Amino acid sequence: MREVTTVLGALTAALQAAGEYNRNDQVAPAAVLWSDGERRWEPLLGVLRRELPHLLTLGAFDPATRTGPAIWLTCALARALPEMPWPAGKVPVVYLPGVSRAELRAVEDCPEPLQPLAELQYRGVLWSQANGRDWTPLAFLKSPHGGLGLDVAQDGATTEALSRALSRLAALPVAGLRGRRIDAAFLDDLLNPDKARRMLTWLDNPAAARDAMTPDEWAAFTAVCRKEYELDPERDGEMRAAELLGSQNGPWAMVWQRFVEAPELSPGLPPLLRRARPKTRDMFYVEASWPQENETGEGLLRAALLAMVEALPAPAAKQIAELDGKHGLRRGWVWAKLGQAPLAETLQPLRALAEITSRPLAGATPDEMAAAYAERGCGADLAVLQALDLVASAEDKAAVAAAIRAMYLPWIEQASLRLQAMVTGVGPRGGRGGVDRRSVAPGSAIVFVDGLRFDVGMLLRQACLAKGWRVEMGWRWAPLPSVTATAKPAASLVGDQLGGHGGGFVPLDRVSGKPATSERLRELMLGGVVELLAAGEVGKGEGVAWTECGSLDRFGHDEGAGLARRLNDVLDPLVARISALFVAGWRRVHVVTDHGWLLLPGGLPHAELQVCLLESRWGRCALPTESARVPVPTCEFHWDPGVQVALAPGVSTFVRGMEYAHGGLSVHECVVPELTIVPTAVRTSAELAAVGWSGLRCRAQVAGGGQGMSVALRSRAGDPSSTLAGPRALDPTGSGSLLVTDDALTGTAAFLVLLDDKGTVIAHHMTTVGE
């Protein structure tokens, strides 16, 4: 027999070959009789009926499946039933489930229901082996005489497994089966192609998993379990299976690894492992497998961190290193991936904090201290935020706060006192005031972010680099006091038009003599031919624009140390805003800010300052009355040297209980980032060649498109959160189709955007929904 694609194809070819005859000197057989006394072939009937439209079956009357009793079959074979046609020239095949060749041959003893078919053995042909026996699946696979001649085991287990896996085996290429041993293990693997995943699915919910399997699949699964995992699911149950899984021994190691790769897919397994933990430890006991071991570790670590509340910096740093050596390995346990080892996770940033704070912030001058902070010291600020971001419960927050305060508070206090001693009465003079309007090239957008501390600026830089943009980052000194009313005007494009004291900490517009409030700053910028962009507006990419973005400072004042968990809420919209500006045609974006801040869980130290000596008092700064002499450091007001500002000493605050504060003099508040971001040119010739609407369906044709490109419909071109439809990948012809499902959007303006494989906008077209 010639080689065919699949086992099923070989079977159909064999059945049809049985009906072949010499048309020159023979009459066509009335039928090919296929006897199957043990009903071994029944699992293939469904697919065989699709492959062989001339296949008839003996059984209860069902014309839809070409099945009926013997008398009906004889009528069908005589073509006396118009509703039962089959292709001309095809010899019909009659499948006889439960009927053996021997029964059919014994004409005198033939059961009455079969008698109408008995004579067909003389007018037709029997499809049988050379030895006269019925073809069984095992015989057909193994025999080289009329079968496939494959290497098939002949034990009882293989015969059982073949009955379960016949449908799967039939779909396999014959060529792929040659040269390999077909046995029970191979056949059961066909029903369990991913044994580890099937085991995890069962362990996750045993009852549901069994209900979802066919009887053959369940039998194959139990056979695999007994042979490979030394487990009988029905007798041993899931508790024993979980205990074996926890041992991570032998084949169970692979199952455990699959669990570790995606534990969220098996939410029922952790509770099962908790119940299955062995009562005693033996050589196979693996601590990482049992949630109780992780919980014990977290408890011990929590107690150790809480005990640092009175620790000195050096012993605290040493203890953090020791704790990391003991508990750090739990970061590789599955429980950490499930978020159940937050304290073990915090040891990484806490160790970074310990390393940085082990040395004082260097520098003989304010600028040298600022440079040291920008280069390395800001990493301590970031480590604090990262550690706080990892914990959620009150007890874990308290433990992490104790460790942070032990190492971080003395370090920032020492650095701040040293800087204040250098510049008492004047303030640092190393940096310029902000963006000089005259030096800003056309095509530039200025994005102001309130309270962008240097370490958060570093995170923004990393996010921009990940987008493929070029980024230049530097630093400057913020004005004193480091509050928005004073420092934002200096960061604006009209700082050179301001001067004098406008009350509180606000400067004056020198021309009008009015306080330089936010509204007055906007008026001055408009007068300087600066385009002011509100939230969501992107402009035309021409001239110079000013826009504001972010709620970082508000989050800090409202949530204190909770700000650490809101950084993504700040950075993600900021990056999206920059992207939208680039899409609109702006050639570069300058990110500027007004001030940084201090953040310390548990609250910054308190400094007393009598209210009677003050005109106003903020967290880190105050405005003394004209004749008052205050017992704290002072500095000149940035906009009027004749006005003195009281500064809280070190990192203290004039208001008790503040975790987040700014306005004073420290590198954390006053060394602020400036970033210039330029989009990398997208090297593609792709363009939106045609855009049209058919009702609410937008159709686009892209010229020069490449692999991975897609189209989307947005209300704001550069903002993925404004997506109205899509994204949808282009087809091979460069076409894309998007359906807007909301009728209310008909007639609204939108952008059709072309995206590359990273989701970056490389072209956009303004359109109107439905037109």
**CA–CA gap between residue 402 and residue 621 (Å, rounded):** 27
pLDDT at 431: 42
Q: What CATH number does residue 704 fall under?
A: 2.60.40
Residue 405 sits in the same domain as residue 419:
yes
pLDDT at 407: 98
Q: What are the structure tokens assigned to 103, written together?
A: 């029964």
Of 400, 423, 446, which one is at a domain's C-terminal end?
423
pLDDT at 240: 97
Kindly indicate the confidence band of residue 434, based on its pLDDT and cuts at 50, 70 and 90. low
Under a CB-based contact definition with an 8 Å cutoff, are residues 187 and 155 in contact?
A: no
Range in 110-114, 400-404, 616-620, 662-666 the model is least confident about: 110-114
Q: Which residue has the higher pLDDT, 6 or 398?
A: 398
Residue 11 sits in the same domain as residue 135:
yes
Of 177, 203, 220, which one is at a domain's C-terminal end?
177
**CA–CA gap between residue 162 and residue 151 (Å, rounded):** 13
Q: DSSP for 146-168?
A: SS----B--SHHHHHHHHHHHHH
Residue 481 sits in the same domain as residue 404:
no
pLDDT at 430: 42
Under a CB-based contact definition with an 8 Å cutoff, are residues 424 and 328 in contact?
A: no
pLDDT at 117 over 90: no
The predicted model gives 396-417 an average pLDDT of: 98
Helix axes 394-423, 291-306, angle to 10 degrees: 40
Residue 582 sits in the same domain as residue 731:
no
| Percent share of the chain, pLDDT over 70 | 96
The predicted model gives 569-598 an average pLDDT of: 95
Is position 642 within any domain? no
**CA–CA gap between residue 430 and residue 44 (Å, rounded):** 85
Residue 147 sits in the same domain as residue 41:
yes
pLDDT at 1 over 60: no
Domain hosting 240: range is 192-289
Cis omega (within 30 of 0) on the bond before 727?
yes
Kindly indicate the confidence band of residue 168, based on its pLDDT and cuts at 50, 70 and 90. confident
Alpha-carbon distance values, 494 to 201, 499, 581 (Å): 65, 11, 22
pLDDT at 626 over 90: no
Is position 583 within any domain? yes
**CA–CA gap between residue 221 and residue 226 (Å, rounded):** 9
pLDDT at 427: 59
Residue 16 sits in the same domain as residue 156:
yes
pLDDT at 55: 93
Task: List beta partners, residue 622.
Answer: 617, 646
User: What confidence tens digit (pLDDT) does each residue in 451-503 have?
Assistant: 999 999 999 999 999 999 999 999 999 999 999 999 999 999 888 899 999 88
The predicted model gives 67-95 an average pLDDT of: 86
Is position 285 within any domain? yes
**CA–CA gap between residue 638 and residue 480 (Å, rounded):** 5
**CA–CA gap between residue 172 and residue 166 (Å, rounded):** 10
Q: Which residue has the higher pLDDT, 122 or 202?
A: 202
Closest CA to 675 of 377, 378, 475: 475
From the DSSP assignment, how many helices (H) and strands (E) are in the chain?
29, 26
User: What confidence tens digit (pLDDT) does each residue in 176-206 have?
Assistant: 888 889 998 889 888 878 899 999 999 999 9
pLDDT at 432 over 50: no
Identity of residue 658? M
pLDDT at 303 over 60: yes
The predicted model gives 377-382 an average pLDDT of: 98
Eight-state DSSP code of residue 173: B
Residue 578 sits in the same domain as residue 442:
yes
Task: List beta partners, residue 728.
Answer: 711
Is position 554 within any domain? yes
Q: What CATH number does residue 542 fall under?
A: 3.40.720.10
Residue 349 sits in the same domain as residue 260:
no
Residue 380 sits in the same domain as residue 392:
yes
Eight-state DSSP code of residue 213: S
pLDDT at 697 over 80: yes
Under a CB-based contact definition with an 8 Å cutoff, are residues 136 and 40 in contact?
A: yes
Residue 210 sits in the same domain as residue 232:
yes
Kindly indicate the confidence band of residue 56, based on its pLDDT and cuts at 50, 70 and 90. very high
Is position 661 within any domain? no
Residue 145 sits in the same domain as residue 162:
yes
The predicted model gives 688-697 an average pLDDT of: 90
pLDDT at 80: 82
Eight-state DSSP code of residue 656: T
Provide the 3-class DSSP secondary structure of residue 86: coil
Half-sphere exposure of 749 (CA within 13 A, CB side): 5
pLDDT at 104 over 80: no
Residue with tokens 């003195």: 644
pLDDT at 684: 56
pLDDT at 3 over 60: no
Of 634, 660, 678, which one is at a domain's C-terminal end?
678
Q: Which residue has the higher pLDDT, 166 or 87?
A: 166
pLDDT at 423: 85
pLDDT at 425: 58
pLDDT at 438 over 70: no
Average model confidence (pLDDT) across the chain? 90
pLDDT at 703: 86
pLDDT at 190: 84
The predicted model gives 323-332 an average pLDDT of: 97
Is position 627 within any domain? no
Residue 21 sits in the same domain as residue 154:
yes
Pure H helices in 119-232: 120-123, 137-142, 156-170, 174-177, 184-191, 195-204, 206-212, 215-228
Overall number of domains in the chain? 5
Alpha-carbon distance values, 144 to 34, 138, 149, 165, 239 (Å): 19, 12, 4, 22, 47
Closest CA to 460 of 351, 577, 582: 577
Q: What are the structure tokens assigned to 211, written together?
A: 């209900």
Is position 648 within any domain? no
**CA–CA gap between residue 517 and residue 489 (Å, rounded):** 8
Is position 608 within any domain? no
Under a CB-based contact definition with an 8 Å cutoff, are residues 622 and 654 in contact?
A: yes
Number of Cβ within a 10 Å radius of residue 767 = 18
pLDDT at 592 over 70: yes
Q: Any idea what the Cα angle at residue 13 is, between residues 8 and 15, rounded to 5°? A: 95
User: What pTM value is reported for the model?
Assistant: 0.75
**Cβ-based burial of 275 (10 A; exposed 0-12, middle 13-18, buried ≥19):** exposed
Closest CA to 623 of 513, 515, 503, 514: 503
User: What confidence tens digit (pLDDT) does each residue in 535-568 have?
Assistant: 989 998 889 999 999 899 999 999 999 999 999 9
**CA–CA gap between residue 328 and residue 307 (Å, rounded):** 19
